[in-house]
Amino acid sequence: MVLYQVVLMLIGDRQEDVDRFIVAQEPGVPQMPSPHRPGIMETVYTRLRNELAHKRTGVNLDTTRAEMRVRVDGLRALVKLAVEQFG
């Protein structure tokens, strides 16, 4: 959560901008439709952040936390790039 927050602060506090940055840096990043915003895709990092920060129907928080552990190194690398570009 903290790593994602750093990127939000650096890029301008809009998830769409964060996802645009993430996709530019990691073109193969998994994306899926947002369950609350029709027509909007969100990256796996945004999905995980939102699953933890907001109540989402059908979400198992233990599964979310386990996937966060798997993906933290990728997010850490993205934060480093964001700091280099925007910090």
Model confidence at 74: pLDDT above 90: yes
- Convert the pLDDT of each residue in 44-71 to its tens digit: 999 999 999 998 889 999 999 999 999 9
- Sorted by sequence, the CB contacts under 8 Å of residue 55 that are 6+ apart come out as none
Model confidence at 11: pLDDT above 90: yes
Tokens at residue 75, please? Answer: 């997010």
One-character DSSP codes across the chain: -HHHHHHHHHHTS-HHHHHHHHHHH-TT--EEE-SSSTT-EEEHHHHHHHHHHS--TT--HHHHHHHHHHHHHHHHHHHHHHHHHH-
